[in-house]
Amino acid sequence: MNLDHRFDGPEDAPVLVLSNSLGTTLDLWELQVHGLSRRFRLLRYDHRGHGGSPVPPGPYTMAELGGDVLELLDRLELERVSFCGLSIGGAVGMWLGANAPERIDRLVVACSSARFGTSDAWIERAATVRAEGTEAIADAVMSRWFTPSFAAEEPQIVRRFREMVATTPAEGYAGCCDALRDWDFRDELGRVAPPTLVIVGELDPVASFVDAEVLFERIPDASVTVIAGVAHLANVPQPEQFKHAVLSHLEAL
């Protein structure tokens, strides 16, 4: 899988991989690039079915999404990296931390869960997207990603992310819904080996503090940071706080 990807930052710096949420592209991280690339060589990429990456027919699995990352690292000759993933990107990070721990130095799992909702909900969403396209679910997604107050204060940002969802290929989005339908890593969290920071948005309706507690309690070397007043995309309304949390963890002795 030849994933679309982009580097930012000095070539001789340690590499930090940034992994996106469902329905976004590598532009998800624009507000973090300047601050993080001063310390790290950032490797942003698009999941299969998203952005500039190929769109194979679904269903996809989390093992395939994680395997895509390992293939990318091999192609770029990167033996060991740190990894920060948000939402489904965080799930990919957990999979890598358990199944390829020798490749991951430190891990950040943001706004993510070992189990997202119910299988029936993902089956329904995938069916809707395959029948009607991603435009059909874009407004509902925005209501989970951003609080009403942020949407009122920053309508241009919300419109930009809505467009990102609405232009995601239907099969790519639905294929990742299929992966989330089958994702249940609760009994595997003890195998996540890298030191892990769990970031949770205080008002996140998708990956709640209860979900974050499960990660914190079951991942052997885990810490948790709560970002106040934000919903699912915590890095967008609070870019500086998010960046500080990530850097503090990655640079910890």
Question: Cα dihedral sign for 28, 45, 68, 134?
Answer: positive
Assign 31 to helix, strand or coil: helix
Does any domain span residue 134? no
Interatomic CA distance for residues 173 and 48, integer angstroms: 9
- Which residue is associated with the tokens 């706080």? 241
Mean pLDDT on 3-16: 97
pLDDT of residue 252: 75
Q: How many domains does the chain have?
A: 1
Mean pLDDT on 15-38: 97
A 10 A CB-CB count for 41 gives 19
For residue 22, pLDDT over 70 is answered with: yes
State pLDDT tens for residues 165-216: 999 999 999 999 999 999 999 999 999 999 999 999 999 999 999 999 999 9
Interatomic CA distance for residues 4 and 32, integer angstroms: 19
State pLDDT tens for residues 109-146: 999 999 999 999 999 999 999 999 999 999 999 999 99
Contact 207, 111 (CB under 8 A): yes
Does any domain span residue 173? no
pLDDT of residue 212: 97
Does any domain span residue 111? yes
Does any domain span residue 140? no
Interatomic CA distance for residues 29 and 85, integer angstroms: 10
CATH number of the domain enclosing 196:
3.40.50.1820
User: How many CA atoms lie within 13 Å of 150's alpha carbon, on the beta-carbon side?
Assistant: 22
State pLDDT tens for residues 50-107: 999 999 999 999 999 999 999 999 999 999 999 999 999 999 999 999 999 999 999 9
Interatomic CA distance for residues 135 and 150, integer angstroms: 21
Q: Which residues form the domain of 90?
A: 5-117+183-250
pLDDT of residue 106: 98
pLDDT of residue 63: 98
Does any domain span residue 217? yes
A 10 A CB-CB count for 141 gives 24
pLDDT of residue 8: 98
pTM, 2 dp:
0.97
